[in-house]
Amino acid sequence: MRIITIILIIFQGHIAFSQDRQVSLSLQLSNPINNNQVGWFEIDGESFDGFNVKNNSFAIGALISYNKSEYCSMRFRFGYTKLFMREFGGYSNGITYDSTHVGGKQNQLSFAPGIVWNINNNKFKLFGGFELPYTYYGDYTLDFLYQQTDVATNNVLYLGHSLSTIPHGFSIGIGGLYGFNYQLSDLFSIGAEFSPSLFYYSLGGQTHAYDISAPDIIYYTKDKNSGVTGFQNRFSINLTFNLIDK
């Protein structure tokens, strides 16, 4: 009988608390993170041969938070990253003009449960905590196009087009969470968060490549990546919709 009474007290307390619970949905715009060190894209904003590099990558996501109390929130974050980098350029020796165009693409999906503790000050709220991120990396495709043209006649002397594929992989880790939110109204708030994280990566592996003119002939690399550890910093800008159950 005493056990039943205790259970009823706990249950009633949970009901009373759930009437004031708050759920929020945040849309995020983040910095895209390139974990694959691939060919011409290893140097920030530059290439090995000095050609132009254009980074059109982007990262978006959403975040669902449940406020267990005024000072503690449970959250679940998921995100999508599209890596899209291009290198292009050319040079001439007066007789021929050589041009190169390389494109790299990859899709990434991230999932991260976490918990944060809040410091409220009217409309301005600071928070800190941690999350456990997992990221799935799709195949990294590398499209290489090389063309040599006669300067005098503008005739194409050589055209090479090859495709390479680096296998998919994953990463798992732990990261800190630090950020703020500013309440614009009862329904909307804006903010930002910073998350430095330590990861274990299982990326890359045996890469295969083939020439477009002879697709039946496939070349394989000998190297395989069994897993490495790494560090990354994620920064996100948040637009939050506050959903309040009374």
Closest CA to 182 of 105, 129, 121: 121
Give strand pairing partners of 129. Answer: 116, 177
Kindly state the average pLDDT of the residues 64-87.
90
Give strand pairing partners of 198. Answer: 174, 231
**Assigned fold of 2-244:** Porin (2.40.160)
Q: How confident is the model at residue 209 (pLDDT cuts 50, 70, 90)?
A: confident
Kindly write down the DSSP assignment for every residue of 92-116, as one continuous string.
E-SSEEEEEEEEEEEEEEEEEEEEE
Q: How far apart are the first and last CA of the chain?
A: 32
Give the pLDDT of residue 36: 60
DSSP tally for the chain: helices H, then strands E: 1, 14
Kindly state the average pLDDT of the residues 88-93.
82
Q: Summarize pLDDT for 19-56 with one digit per residue, the tens.
A: 345 889 999 999 998 766 555 454 444 444 556 778 88
> Could you give the maximum distance between any two Cα atoms of the chain, in Å?
100
Q: Is the pLDDT of residue 226 over 70?
A: no
Closest CA to 225 of 166, 141, 172: 166
